[in-house]
Amino acid sequence: MEFTFPLLLLSILVLSAGPVAPTPIRDSHGNPVLYGARYYLTASTDGNGVGMASFNGSCPSTVFLQTFRFGPPVMLFPLDTHGVKIRYAEEEEDLYIMFAQPYHCDQSTQWKISEESGLVTTGGHMSDSFFNYARFRIVRYNTDPPILGKDYYEIWSCPSGSIICSQIGVRPGPDQALGRSDQPLPVLFTKVPEELGASTVMHPTA
């Protein structure tokens, strides 16, 4: 009986603490990353940008690390896109990633993980199925001190129904393709200037 009061006090403290406030993903200027807005993804390793290419001439396109800074912009979207108003994306929540501009492949520019190769490709779709390989998470890359004072993030692949997520990094080989890796690639979000493209809300492919 002597443990009743401490346990009761602990319960009150836990309940009074309330839910943890969501943490927004932040861009290179420290502003929250907005759903539906356009951002360049650049790597912390060399500042090169993330892009897409068809290395063997076939589709879907492979997501890879380019040899120059800015590639095609990407946009983030929540899993439920119905009636979405522009709001910020949060760390460690499931979401969709897509390139903001079309490519020569007649497919969606939405990211997905290839079940066979483990590479990140385009051609993803919004789906409520148990396994949806187009779902990702953005997780803070913790360094002390921060890289150049900026907020860098890891990208994780988190298919529906999967207990374990996979980190995304540069796979070995000359193509610099992104895929499942034990060495994550830290990336920085840089907002595209308004004069280069409006931040309009678009929807992933259903």
Residue at 59 is within a domain: yes
Does 188 score more than 70 pLDDT? yes
pTM above 0.85, yes or no: no
Q: What is the pLDDT of residues 12-26, one digit of tens each?
A: 444 445 556 789 999
Q: Is 184 domain-assigned? A: yes
Q: What is the pLDDT of residues 170-180, one digit of tens each?
A: 999 889 999 99
CB atoms within 10 A of CB 130: 9
Which residues does 79 contact at the CB level (< 8 Å), separation at least 6?
Answer: 94, 95, 96, 126, 135
Q: What are all long-range contacts of 161-170, with beta carbons under 8 Å and residues at least 24 apart?
A: 161/130, 161/131, 162/131, 165/137, 166/113, 166/118, 168/120, 168/136, 170/65
pLDDT greater at residue 83 or residue 143: 143
Does some domain include residue 12? no
Is residue 201 assigned to a domain? no
Q: Say whether pLDDT at 111 is over 70.
A: yes
Banded pLDDT at 85 (limits 50, 70, 90): low
The number of folded domains in the chain is 1
CATH number, residue 89 = 2.80.10.50
Instruction: Give residue 10's pLDDT.
Output: 41
33 part of a folded domain? yes
| Domain annotation covers residue 6 | no
What's the domain range around 168? 20-196
Sign of CA dihedral 94, 99, 103, 106: positive
Which strand ranges, in their side-by-side order, compose the sheet holding 62-65? 50-53, 62-65, 120-121, 112-113
In a domain, 2, yes or no: no
